[in-house]
Amino acid sequence: MDWQVNTVVTGVDGSEGSRRAAEHAAAIARHWSAKLLLVTVVRTPEGWWGIGGAPPSPEALSAALIEGQQKILSEIEGHLELDGIEHETVEELGDPVSRLVDVCDENDADLLVIGRRGAGLAERIILGSVADRLCHMAPCPVLIIP
Ligand SMILES: Nc1ncnc2c1ncn2[C@@H]1O[C@H](COP(=O)(O)OP(=O)(O)OP(=O)(O)O)[C@@H](O)[C@H]1O
Ligand SMILES: [Mg+2]
């Protein structure tokens, strides 16, 4: 079998875990001269429930969230050693798992690199829920970074 790594996708959510994942993804992309996609997914604000007052419109909330994700992406871009690596940042809106699966599909990803933990507040012993579901649903091999 001739498995080549031409395209690497990594999920970035601003957490320490996803930073380590992105570092590994960049190292792998460099080694293979592969293309690197840094992907952040903004959860859609459906179901938002405020305490008192009217909730922000979905549009306003999306805009605020997307701004936050852009900051996350520019931070990680600044942090990684990306010289000589063909890379792209991608912002998606929706369910992180479905959107990451779609990005992998659409770009014929050869590898998806994610952290074992993310930005969630729950003190999980093993695996975050996004990481867990991606292991079941990803269309390509998944590398989990502890
Ligand atoms: N919104 C997102 N956009 C892009 N990648 C993500 C996103 N959320 C998680 N990931 C990827 O998945 C990895 C694991 O995060 P996950 O969300 O599963 O853990 P968690 O936040 O600790 O737990 P949970 O979200 O279940 O409370 C992260 O390190 C990151 O690589
Ligand atoms: Mg999470």
Give the integer Cα–Cα distance in Å for 34 and 86: 7
**Residue 53 pLDDT grade (very low, low, confident, very high; cuts 50, 70, 90):** low
- For tokens 């809106």, the residue is 93
Q: What is the pLDDT of residues 33-42, one digit of tens each?
A: 999 999 999 8
- For tokens 């507040």, the residue is 121
Choose which residue among 12, 13, 111, 134 to substitute to test ligand 1 binding: the one with the highest number of ligand atoms within 8 A of its C-beta: 13
Backbone torsion region of residue 33, taken as left when φ is above 0, otherwise alpha when ψ lies between -120 and 50, otherwise beta: left
Q: Is the CB of 128 under 6 A from ligand 1?
A: yes
Q: What is the pLDDT of residues 97-143, one digit of tens each?
A: 999 999 999 999 999 999 999 988 777 667 899 999 999 999 999 99
Is the pTM value of this prediction over 0.95? no
What number of helices (H) and strands (E) belong to the chain?
A: 4, 5
